[in-house]
Amino acid sequence: FSVFFFGLFFLLVYRKTRFTLYLVAALGSMSVFPFFVAPSDIMMKVLPPEPMLLLHYSGLFTFFFAYLFVQYFYKSMPRTNWVLGVFFGFMALTIVAQIFHFNLDLFQKVRSVYLVTGLLLGTLSLYQTFRGALLKNPGAKVLFGGMLGFYISGLHDMLLSFGLINSLSMMFYGVLVFELSMLYVASTIFANTFVQNKVLANDLKVINDNLEHLVAERTLQLRQKTN
């Protein structure tokens, strides 16, 4: 719920600033909400487990927004974004559509492709944050740490879904770690921008005061010469 309300906050920030980084942070924080909430004990008591399981997996679409977010710290890839976004979105919609008619075999197949695509997005995101950290771009190191935790948990759970290891799911913690790192970086950018704007406003006020003083002096000199 905290992550979701942070997303609402950045949605309002985007509305005022029109800076798309805040929009991506907002969508990433809000889209992950079903992943955290759907498998909770309260929801499982109120609704059947199958729809909650499907909604839980639909929340992993936040992988795509994480991938978009890290591009602000190294390099944008618009064409690749469209291809991966459409394909990954189709997988997510296929999973959600099974709320109306659940098919276990189809779900298992789509889930595997969904997780592999998510792992691909994680790999690209990890590369982006690593290169951004090498270039010393502000916030890239924090995102690299968050993405590394995200990536390790995703790789672990993909192996778990294929039955290659016997363990407990770690995706919850990996997603949470990255979401927190993303919100921290977005909040830091917002705070730094606010401070910079405040400093610029103060500097502008000083310049205006100096200009007014200079104009007053020149006006006085002209009057003295005229007299």
Average per-residue pLDDT in the chain?
A: 89
Burial bucket for residue 186 (CB in 10 Å: 0-12, 13-18, 19+): buried
Per-residue pLDDT tens over the stretch 145-185: 999 998 898 788 878 877 888 888 888 888 899 999 999 99
Which among 53, 116, 57 has a CA at the least distance from the CA of 84?
Answer: 116
Distance of CA 111 to the CA centre of its chain: 22
Q: Does residue 227 register a pLDDT over 70? A: no
Q: Rounded mean pLDDT of 193-213?
A: 84
Neighbours of 120 (CB within 10 A): 15
pLDDT band at 134 (very low <50, low <70, confident <90, very high): very high
Total length of the chain: 227
